[in-house]
Chains A and B, each alone.
Chain A
Amino acid sequence: DSGVTQTPKHLITATGQRVTLRCSPRSGDLSVYWYQQSLDQGLQFLIQYYNGEERAKGNILERFSAQQFPDLHSELNLSSLELGDSALYFCASSPDLGGVKNIQYFGAGTRLSVL
């Protein structure tokens, strides 16, 4: 168990809908990362938050947004869903931003199916 908790494990919804994925980082970790894993794109970085503030953006669509709350949990919001958004969404956390000991630990993921 990595200590990173993601809910829900599975999500089935329809095109055009909006969903929220939740992530609780490991105790003490300040940085949260979101990744998308799909068959055609592989594992892609979406967005990172550090201590409540957006730190880096990757290949994240404008329909997607995220935030990190004061208790350090994070939510990824996906709206106007399309079939191509079906994927496994991972959250990872790390203690800090850099340094030799800063390893990212991953949650089990949320599998999103858009029908």
Chain B
Amino acid sequence: AQSVAQPEDQVNVAEGNPLTVKCTYSVSGNPYLFWYVQYPNRGLQFLLKYITGDNLVKGSYGFEAEFNKSQTSFHLKKPSALVSDSALYFCAVRDMGGNNRLAFGKGNQVVVIP
């Protein structure tokens, strides 16, 4: 079964500094990977996806993610964090059984310190 792991519970970063949220995956075959963000009392918002092609994927709100097949990782990055980036971030992988369901990691709380 496809799965992802987010090893850290919380990521603290100073405003203006680079932000990295880690994700590793375990799949059979080529993965379809996603990042979502959840702001307080809101639903999940799609940030970006990797299906195939370039290993560096650009998404919404200045976020990007780097797919690394040898390290089975898909880390989310932002060059300069904003206080408004403080939220819960989820990595997810699509089931390859043809039904498109997602398996999520436990989530990472990102706190951007002014």
Listed in ascending order, the chain A residues whose CB lies under 8 Å from chain B are: 2, 4, 6, 31, 33, 35, 42-45, 48, 50, 55-56, 58, 90, 92, 94, 96-98, 100, 102-109
Contact = CB atoms under 8 A, between A and B. Distances in A.
Given A2-B43, A105-B46, A56 B104 contact: no
A48 B101 contact: yes
Interface string B95-114: 10111111111110000000
Contacts of B36: 106
Nearest to A111: B41
A106 B36 CA distance: 10
Judged by DSSP, the binding face of B is loop
Query: B interface, how many residues as a size bin?
Result: 20 to 34
B100 A104 contact: yes
Contacts, number: 61
A102 B100 contact: yes
A103 B98 contact: no
Contact of A31 (B42, B100, B106): B100
A98 B107 contact: no
Contacts of A43: 44, 90, 104, 107
A97 B43 contact: no
Q: Max chain A CB contacts within 10 Å: which of B44, B97, B104?
A: B44
B43 A90 contact: yes
